[in-house]
Structure 1
Amino acid sequence: MEALRNMLVMIELELRRLWHDRTEIYSRAVQPILWLAVYGPVMGRVRGIPTSVPYTDFITPGVMIQSTTFVSIFYGLMIVWERDSGILKKLLVTPASRYSMVIGRSMASGVRALFQALIILPVALIIGVHFIPNPAHFILAFTIIFLSSGGFAAVSVLIASFMKTRERFMGIGQAIVMPLFFASNALYPIQMMPPILREFSSINPLSYVVDAVRGLLITGELSNIILDIVAIAIFDTIMFVAASLSFRRIIE
């Protein structure tokens, strides 16, 4: 119960930060809005990518996940800043376990990612994206976004434990997000990829998140939903454990 309370405190702290400063959420929504408003319609006119739904509808879950993943991966910048300012050292001497701190911080990033997704959703509706009108599907989809964002935030904590400066962290973060995005099913079906990318997409956690959210919100194809959820759970568990084990390296 103490570990759960620590996690909830960190989530509450993130909500307070968002309440007082929402600029970052709005500014980071610009890129996904451009993907949906410009890239989607243009590529949809080419008709070179076979999809079962309009192309803009097809890429909407992928763009949404890319945006929330970007937020999560760069959440580690805050960890680096807290280390440099001495806040993190004070946190590490508290009785709270490393696991509760890492999972709590990661889940706090999930809250930020949810707000990011909620900004993109009405924009997608305005430009004509057709969602499945099922509240249960929306709840499950946003739960998956929340949990997967926690896993990617744990990746950022792991990176922060090795990167000593924010500049290095920025470079590594960018080098992780974009390959994951383009080597997933976010912009095109996996069947169109070269064999080597197809194999990589099978171990790319982003592919499973996009597949689950796309099935729930756009296509209604849920034959792989259990596999997607299990893959996301395994990814989160591995990242939480790895980030927790390396957490003390951040202040060394």
Structure 2
Amino acid sequence: MSEAPAAPQPGSVEPPAAARHLDLLLIPPRPRTGWRVLPARVVAMCVVELQKLRHDRTELYTRAVQPALWLVVFGETFTRIKAIPTGGTPYIDYLAPGIIAQSAMFIAIFYGIMIIWERDAGILTKLLVTPTPRSALIAGKAFAAGLKALLQAVVVIVIAALLGVAMTWNPLRLLGVAVAVVLGSAFFSCLSISIAGIVLTRDRLMGIGQAITMPLFFASNALYPVAVMPGWLQTVSRVNPLSYQVDALRGLLLGTPSHLALDFAVLVAASVAGIAAASALLGRLAR
């Protein structure tokens, strides 16, 4: 049996409730330790990044214009002329997963500009002196970019459905689509942050970002099958993470033959490598 609480001693005065609450304010809470530290700080950084959307939601609307044009103009036109072999799949159906991956990449690839702005505003220096590991800072920003890209992907999926694209609505497959979008965007945002850590200025990063986005897009299977590419471009496509993201999205949304295990393994490995590289280069931005 548990012991009853000790009765107050004669002559002793129990502290008032207000004093006990004050003690709670003066005594710091025990620091969180163990495996929960890193995930908690990653989530916190991710939430901070997503808060910025509340101040400027026009970004979501303006970024929906380009994928809509790709689907409506490019997709509808090439569906009619049947110029690209897609194995019996209507071309606009074949194109839709590629445009989802493209729009997600375009959001993430310029993410380094934001971190350079944070450096110039003094925010990055304040973040680096906190106990938060650099990997948590980068991972939080990377997965925030993934969640922003996921909102963009929802817009593209809605547009594609309105255009009659035959997609699955299986919840498990849609969950896989969400994971593929987040992982791909995490890698490309880390690539952008890594480039920012090398070039250190927004102008240079903007130029490099514009120089690599279209080659990454055209050197993937987003617009056409790998089999129709010349040999050297097929080699580039095989080392392009965007190709694996598109393959996963196409297999999940359309049910076409794909290599999901390989696709997700490459995306996870690319994301981890991207976080490690960006974390190593983050200190150069704060110097």
Fold match (TM-score > 0.5): yes
2:203 counterpart (153, 162, 167): 167
CA contact (8 A) 1:156 1:173 kept: yes
Provide the C-alpha distance between the structure 2 equivalents of 1:219 and 1:200, rounded to a whole number of angstroms: 25
Query: What residue is the counterpart of 1:68 in the other structure?
Result: 104
- Cα displacement (A) at 1:212: 0.4
Provide the C-alpha distance between the structure 2 equivalents of 1:7 and 1:233, rounded to a whole number of angstroms: 17
CA contact (8 A) 1:106 1:151 kept: yes
The structure carrying a bigger helix percent of its residues is 1
CA contact (8 A) 1:161 1:246 kept: yes
Provide the C-alpha distance between the structure 2 equivalents of 1:36 and 1:94, rounded to a whole number of angstroms: 45
Name the TM-score, length of structure 2 as normaliser. 0.85
Query: What residue is the counterpart of 1:93 in the other structure?
Result: 129
Aligned residues: 251
Query: What residue is the counterpart of 1:152 in the other structure?
Result: 188
State the AA in 1 paired with 2:193: V
Provide the C-alpha distance between the structure 2 equivalents of 1:141 and 1:64, rounded to a whole number of angstroms: 10
State the AA in 2 paired with 1:169: L
Structure with larger RCO (C-alpha < 8 A, sep 6+):
1
**Which structure is larger by alpha-carbon Rg, 1 or 2?**
2
Provide the C-alpha distance between the structure 1 equivalents of 2:51 and 2:254, rounded to a whole number of angstroms: 33
Do residues 236 (structure 1) and 236 (structure 2) align?
no
CA contact (8 A) 1:107 1:146 kept: yes
3-state DSSP of counterpart to 2:198:
coil
Query: What residue is the counterpart of 2:58 in the other structure?
Result: 23
State the AA in 1 paired with 2:266: A
Query: What residue is the counterpart of 2:71 in the other structure?
Result: 36
Contiguous gaps of at least 5 residues in structure 1: none
Do residues 195 (structure 1) and 231 (structure 2) align?
yes
1:132 counterpart (140, 153, 168): 168
1:81 counterpart (106, 112, 117): 117
- Cα displacement (A) at 1:112: 0.8
2:153 counterpart (117, 121, 124): 117
Provide the C-alpha distance between the structure 2 equivalents of 1:9 and 1:160, rounded to a whole number of angstroms: 23
State the AA in 1 paired with 2:206: M
Provide the C-alpha distance between the structure 1 equivalents of 2:112 and 2:72, rounded to a whole number of angstroms: 30
Residue-by-residue CA offset, 1:19-69 (whole Å, 9 max, x unaligned): 232111211111110000000111112211111310011010111101001
2:247 counterpart (211, 215, 231): 211
Name the TM-score, length of structure 1 as normaliser. 0.96
- Cα displacement (A) at 1:80: 0.7
Provide the C-alpha distance between the structure 2 equivalents of 1:156 and 1:91, rounded to a whole number of angstroms: 19
- The range that moved more, 156-165 or 75-84, is 156-165
- Cα displacement (A) at 1:221: 2.4
Query: What residue is the counterpart of 1:8 in the other structure?
Result: 43
Query: What residue is the counterpart of 2:143 in the other structure?
Result: 107
- Cα displacement (A) at 1:75: 1.2
CA contact (8 A) 1:66 1:181 kept: yes
Provide the C-alpha distance between the structure 2 equivalents of 1:203 and 1:214, rounded to a whole number of angstroms: 18
State the AA in 1 paired with 2:274: M
Give the fraction of aligned pairs with identical amino acids, expressed as a percent: 45
Query: What residue is the counterpart of 2:27 in the other structure?
Result: none
3-state DSSP of counterpart to 1:221:
coil
Residue-by-residue CA offset, 1:148-171 (whole Å, 9 max, x unaligned): 211111111101112232121111
CA contact (8 A) 1:59 1:186 kept: yes
Do residues 58 (structure 1) and 94 (structure 2) align?
yes
CA contact (8 A) 1:14 1:111 kept: no
